Amino acid sequence: MNPSADMPHSEPKTVAEAAALLRAGKLCAFPTETVYGLGGDATNADAVLAIYETKGRPRFNPLIIHCADLAMAETLAEFSPLARKAATLWPGSLSLVLPARPGNGLADVATAGLDTVAIRIPDHSVALELIAAVGRPLAAPSANPSGRLSPTTAYQVRLGFAGRVPVIDGGPCRAGVESTIVRVDGDRLVQLRAGAVSREEIEAAIGVPVDVAEKNAAITAPGMLTSHYAPNALMRLNAVPVAGEAYLGFGEGPAFAGPSRNLSPSGDLREAARNLFSMLHELDAVGAAMIAVAPVPNEGLGEAINDRLERAAAPRE
Ligand code: TXA
Ligand code: MG
């Protein structure tokens, strides 16, 4: 299959071409170190609405705003001393939820009308050059149709949107799962979403304990879908595979004759996070009806991996 066969646009080959699209209010997918983002000018309400529309996102769920540097971030939000300390992890896979600065120019739909804003400075040269070239913050959710697997390559973005969205190719993403989202709450940090930076790493860097919000408390609203990141296949977690299934292993596992991948034969959680979405995409492509998944320890990056696996395995609506 060639998803770019009937693309109504030519792919941006350079940062300047991608920046021109974004400045004109068009969308362009771009690489970050976590996953590919579906980028739009965060100050342009039409561009942000096009993001929701393109993803088929069922409701206005606030987006993460990507900045090129701290100076840009400071025009958008109020940084307390603790927030400033947390920002020393930037560029990086940490999104900070901070009080929005009044009149910051962001489109209301980008923050879903909240008085807080989630910001990050991605650790990827293409993303940083792109945001700087646009000269405006970019709203960017993962570049996949709502509820489906997040993309970690440009190819997966093209496949997901059937070539309808331009994408600048920056190779495979290093981290492979989305950023960790942390709310700065007075003198506390509260993790709203586990992600590519573990709580232990944040605590070690900042010297402040990171509390964990109740599951799904990030933006709770009635009817919020728990099923997310879903492949076409159904999934069984903490499972031993049986004939007819595909198998996603971790560490040393049972020998299995069917289609299989191993997130990390040596049991390395960073490698497993990097491989997670790609391997689910690959196993999905073999057409199995069920993917059995080996247990993954729930420590460090395992927290983010298990969160994504549980959502992928949740009952579909
Ligand atoms: O790694 C990532 O974070 C990727 C790449 C592209 O940067 N982006 C990403 O964005 O995962 P998205 O749209 O899938 O995640 C946005 C989530 C929302 O679902 C919401 O839970 C949370 O960020 N969020 C955004 N603004 C918030 C706010 N003001 N308060 C609380 N949560 C917020
Ligand atoms: Mg997403």
| 23 and 149 both lie in a single domain | yes
Q: Is residue 271 part of a domain?
A: yes
Percentage of the chain modeled with pLDDT above 90? 80
Q: Which residues of 231-251 are buried (b: 16+ CB within 10 A; e: fewer)?
A: bebebbbebebeeebbbbbbb
Give distance in angstroms: CA of 138 to centre of ligand 2: 15
Average pLDDT score over residue span 150-155: 96
Task: Enter the tokens of residue 198.
Answer: 């573990």
Confidence of residue 7 (pLDDT cuts 50, 70, 90): low
Give distance in angstroms: CA of 148 to centre of ligand 1: 15
Average pLDDT score over residue span 151-177: 96
Predicted confidence at residue 74, as pLDDT, reads 98
Query: 35: Cβ–Cβ under 8 A, 6 or more apart, which residues?
Result: 142, 143, 150, 151, 152, 173, 175, 176, 177, 178, 277
| 36 and 158 both lie in a single domain | yes
Ligand 1 near 294 CB (within 6 A)? no
Report the CATH number that the domain containing residue 300 is assigned in CATH: 3.40.50.11030
Each residue of 251-279: pLDDT tens digit?
A: 998 889 999 999 999 999 999 999 998 89
Residue pair 130/15 in contact (Cβ under 8 Å)? The answer is yes
Q: Is residue 199 part of a domain?
A: no
Ligand 1 near 97 CB (within 6 A)? yes
Residue pair 17/162 in contact (Cβ under 8 Å)? The answer is no
Predicted confidence at residue 229, as pLDDT, reads 74
Q: Helices in the chain by DSSP H: which ranges?
A: 15-23, 45-55, 70-76, 81-86, 125-134, 154-160, 199-206, 269-285, 302-313
Q: What 3-state DSSP class applies to 317?
A: coil
Predicted confidence at residue 213, as pLDDT, reads 85
Q: Are strands 188-193 and 210-212 parallel, antiparallel or unpaired?
A: parallel
Q: Is residue 159 part of a domain?
A: yes
Confidence of residue 72 (pLDDT cuts 50, 70, 90): very high
Atom of ligand 1 nearest to the CA of 34: 1
| 32 and 160 both lie in a single domain | yes
Residue pair 149/229 in contact (Cβ under 8 Å)? The answer is yes
Q: Which domain holds residue 253?
A: 234-313
| 158 and 276 both lie in a single domain | no
- Asked which of 111-115, 126-130, 152-156, 261-265 is least confident by mean pLDDT, the reply is 111-115
| 142 and 240 both lie in a single domain | no
Predicted confidence at residue 80, as pLDDT, reads 97
Each residue of 193-231: pLDDT tens digit?
A: 999 999 999 999 999 999 998 765 544 433 344 666 788
Give distance in angstroms: CA of 65 to centre of ligand 1: 8
Question: Per-residue pLDDT for 190 more than 70?
Answer: yes
Q: What is the mean pLDDT of the chain?
A: 91
Predicted confidence at residue 24, as pLDDT, reads 98
Binding residue per annotation — 80? no
Question: Per-residue pLDDT for 247 more than 60?
Answer: yes
Q: Is residue 275 part of a domain?
A: yes
The protein residue with its alpha carbon nearest to ligand 1, atom 21, reads: 218
For 7, half-sphere exposure in the C-beta direction (CA atoms, 13 angstrom radius) is 18
Q: Is residue 241 part of a domain?
A: yes
ipTM: 0.98
**CA–CA gap between residue 106 and residue 128 (Å, rounded):** 19
The protein residue with its alpha carbon nearest to ligand 1, atom 1, reads: 178
Which of 178, 214, 225, 228 to mutate for ligand 1's pocket (most ligand atoms within 8 Å of CB)? 178
Which of 111, 219, 274, 308 to mutate for ligand 1's pocket (most ligand atoms within 8 Å of CB)? 219
| 151 and 282 both lie in a single domain | no
Binding residue per annotation — 150? yes
Beta-bridge partner residues of 99: 116
Average pLDDT score over residue span 114-125: 96
| 259 and 137 both lie in a single domain | no
Predicted confidence at residue 242, as pLDDT, reads 95
> How many domains, in total, are found in the chain?
2
20 burial (CB, 10 Å; 0-12 / 13-18 / 19+) is: middle
∠ Cα 4 273 39 (to 5°)? 45
Ligand 1 near 4 CB (within 6 A)? no
Which of 32, 35, 52, 64 to mutate for ligand 1's pocket (most ligand atoms within 8 Å of CB)? 64
The protein residue with its alpha carbon nearest to ligand 1, atom 12, reads: 141
Each residue of 281-316: pLDDT tens digit?
A: 999 999 999 999 999 999 999 999 999 999 889 887
Confidence of residue 246 (pLDDT cuts 50, 70, 90): very high
Question: Per-residue pLDDT for 21 more than 60?
Answer: yes
Atom of ligand 1 nearest to the CA of 193: 21
Q: Is residue 229 part of a domain?
A: no
Question: How far from the centroid of its chain's Cα atoms is residue 310's Cα?
Answer: 16
Each residue of 93-105: pLDDT tens digit?
A: 999 999 999 999 9
Q: What 3-state DSSP class applies to 173?
A: coil
Predicted confidence at residue 156, as pLDDT, reads 96
Ligand 1 near 141 CB (within 6 A)? yes
Ligand 1 near 198 CB (within 6 A)? no
Each residue of 26-58: pLDDT tens digit?
A: 999 999 999 999 999 999 999 998 999 999 987
Question: Per-residue pLDDT for 185 more than 80?
Answer: yes
Q: Is residue 224 part of a domain?
A: no
Each residue of 84-93: pLDDT tens digit?
A: 999 999 999 9
Binding residue per annotation — 146? no
Give distance in angstroms: CA of 163 to centre of ligand 2: 18
